Amino acid sequence: MLCILCTSVLKAQHLVSGLVSDKHEPIIGANIFIEGTYDGAVTDTNGYFEFLSSTVGGVNLTISYLGYETKTINADITSLAQLDIKLRESAMSLDAVEISASTFKAGDNSKLAVMTPMDVVTTAGSMGDVIAAMQTLPGTQSNADDGRLFIRGGDARETSIYIDGMKVFSPYSRTINGTPSRGRYSPFLFKGVSFSTGGYSTAFGQALSGILDMSTIDEPNQTETNINLMSIGFGIGHTYKADKQSISVSASYTDLSLYNTIVPSSANWTNPYSGFSGEAVYRYKTDKGLFKSYLAGDLGSFGLYTTNIDSGADELIEINNSNIYSNNTYRHFLSDQTSMTAGLSVGYNHDKLLFQKINQQDKSLTGIHGRLSFKTIITDHFIAHYGIETLRQADDISFKVDVPVYQDEISRDILGSHIELDYFFSQDLALKTGIRAEYNTRLDAYHILPRITIAQKLNDASQLSAAVGLFSQEVDTDALFSNQFIGQETAQHFLVNYNRKTENQILRIEGYYKNYNKLLTYDSGNNSYLNSSNEGQGYAYGLDFFWRANQIVDNVDFWVSYSWLENQRTYKDYPAAAAPSFSSRHNLSLVSKTWIPKLKSQLGITYRMASGRPYENPNKDGFMIDRSGYYHDISLGWSYLISQQKIIYLSVANAPGFDNEYGYEYGSVKNELGQFPDRQIRPYDNQFFFIGFFWTISQDKLKNQLDNL
């Protein structure tokens, strides 16, 4: 009886065997097992495995190995001998190629990250402004008299700014010509930045040139208080951290009166800029998600006399601005494969301009942006991104002397949806293809915007990417008050990008071509917008170069950024195609930071150069043929660690005092010589000095303010 039983068991056992490999060589240590049993084995040095199983009938044989896509074979157990199994590399691997082109990242572990959060605020000349730090990267245009982001020959309005993926409606402080704008929001509350100069995701719309997306901190490290005393004002902030929630609040006051008393300005101020600002972020962690609520607001005003170029008389201009912005997002994991992000942002901005205390202009903007998006990992090689959003904007404008003489308002909705598919052929080759659809209620029109990116990993350190896409954006709001049926402008992006990143160096080279269509055009004159249309067009092409090296020389970190641009367009009231006044052919930035341990100091220097910008000279034949002089700036910064939690920071913009100029402006009435009078456009101040004391009070008494300078 025992012999009969043993013979029966042996007959019921089946040999499962085979070879496991990838495209090139055997895989050692792969795990093979039959689901629902303890039967299995591990591949040997030749990738071979075998084991016996008493299971009968159909089974699921699973083969898995870290970095590769798990494979399951469903078959009768009698057919699972001498298998030849090929595993595919997993797209989830850290070594996989990144599907991205023309994107600069800060503050994450991306292979494409070129800056850290500290860089944003320690770069000499940035003065703690995120926008100014971005202007040291290739693809941006140096417009020191303006301060906003100009990308690859595009106007500043062609770049959209987001916080946590939600639109910011009025991202810049109010100013006048000759005084640069600043970004409204403190960099201290952000963990990272994604800055795209073209070919960006279908998740973003209403931007012809580029996008800047700033991400707030998900969770602070500890409870702490920050106190800032500066030559232009003071600020205080506090962060409270509990187990599942935290809140950060900050407030600051800025007043240039004291600064201008010590450092006189060439501007004829009646009231130098002064203002209050505040920010708050609340965070709450759920079991499978994170809720964040961001609130920011500011009030500012200034007044000065400007000289009328025709009459020579001084004219008083006073500006009051109020702005508030709210942003709420919730990120939730619906399953191991799908995550959801929901967001809502609301913004309100009001500008009151008073001319000679008589003529008054009021402009206000109210915007609402809602978004619901998803990410689903379909397989290790296939990822889907999809979502819907709505954007509503209402604008009001009025002019009055004693009583309103003109008043108008316009509102519209833009509904959008997108789907984007990432497919990894292998760890070395990937494709991103997507389409964005928008419906504009003002025009009762749809816009279909396809985009595609392909990326090839060349080796462990480098990759090559290419992208092409169609982008669309509304025209300038001021034109809509006269003709609300003007269509949206469009642009096509074509670009090729090479990216190489090693432990201590980053190299990026990118060539691009942009084709503009349906640009806004109108006639010259006081009522120019009445005859507006979408007859404009243009192009921009060029080359961007970025090289960053760290620790090639001990304690020295530096980067080189260069952009070459050729562009022309017919838009606005241009009588002929020309390069616009905000573009320059050559832009160069050299940034260096040195840590000196013995002095407990970090020294920073930034050199920026831009070739001359075109401007129109009505006293000459031809259009936009004159050029301003080259722009030069050398800014210095010094951070000194007094103690572990106290720092002094000093900086000076344009330390050598270069006499920069931005071309000429002309009067509207000819003089006795039959010429239009001219005046050189110069900055009010060649230099700007800053000194600040920063004090952190934290629970561990170790954190200092070096990451906040």
268-309 confidence digits (pLDDT tens):
889 998 999 999 999 999 888 899 999 999 999 999 998 999
Mean pLDDT calculated for residue range 627-646:
90
pLDDT reported for residue 12: 64
The confidence band for 112, taking pLDDT boundaries of 50, 70 and 90, is very low
Mean pLDDT calculated for residue range 447-464:
91
Residues 451, 444: Cα–Cα separation, whole Å:
23
More confident of the two residues 524 and 355: 355
The secondary structure of 270-285 as a DSSP string is EEEEEEEEEEEEEEEE
Domain 12-86 fold is: Immunoglobulin-like (2.60.40)
The secondary structure of 495-553 as a DSSP string is EEEEEEE-SSEEEEEEEEEEEEEEEEE--SSTTGGGG-EEEEEEEEEEEEEEEEEESSS
The DSSP letter of residue 597 is: G
Q: What is the pLDDT of residues 320-329, one digit of tens each?
A: 999 999 999 9
Neighbouring CB atoms inside 10 A of 141's CB total 23
Contacts of 2 (CB under 8 A, 6+ apart): none
pLDDT reported for residue 28: 86
pLDDT reported for residue 186: 75
Mean pLDDT calculated for residue range 488-498:
95
Examine the pLDDT at 555 and tell me if it is beyond 60. yes
List the one residue out of 596, 667, 659 whose CA is nearest residue 630. 659
Residues 463, 457: Cα–Cα separation, whole Å:
4
pLDDT reported for residue 109: 43
State what percent of residues in the chain have pLDDT above 90: 47
The confidence band for 524, taking pLDDT boundaries of 50, 70 and 90, is confident
Task: Kindly state the tokens that stand for 499.
Answer: 């990216």
- CATH fit for domain 103-708, picks 3.30.40.10, 3.40.50.720, 2.40.170.20, 3.90.1150.10: 2.40.170.20
**Helix (H), strand (E) at residue 122:** helix 117-122
Mean pLDDT calculated for residue range 241-256:
91
Mean pLDDT calculated for residue range 450-464:
91
- From residue 592, how far is each of 322, 502, 662 by CA, in Å? 37, 19, 26
Burial class (CB within 10 angstroms; exposed 0-12, middle 13-18, buried 19+) of 166: buried
Examine the pLDDT at 406 and tell me if it is beyond 90. no
- From residue 458, how far is each of 89, 96, 229 by CA, in Å? 16, 11, 50
CA atoms 439, 443, 446, 449: torsion sign: negative
Asked whether the domain spanning 103-708 has the same topology as the one spanning 12-86, the reply is no
pLDDT reported for residue 5: 47
The confidence band for 565, taking pLDDT boundaries of 50, 70 and 90, is very high
Contacts of 675 (CB under 8 A, 6+ apart): 619
* pLDDT, mean over the chain: 87
Which residues, listed in sequence order, are joined to residue 227 by a DSSP beta bridge? Answer: 236, 695
More confident of the two residues 239 and 67: 239
Lowest mean pLDDT among 16-30, 110-124, 639-653, 683-697: 110-124
- What ranges do the domains of the chain cover? 12-86, 103-708
Mean pLDDT calculated for residue range 409-415:
94
Lowest mean pLDDT among 177-191, 236-250, 623-637: 177-191
The confidence band for 8, taking pLDDT boundaries of 50, 70 and 90, is very low
pLDDT reported for residue 278: 93
Contacts of 142 (CB under 8 A, 6+ apart): 135, 584, 587, 608, 609, 610, 631
Q: What is the pLDDT of residues 669-701, one digit of tens each?
A: 898 888 999 999 888 888 889 898 988 888 766
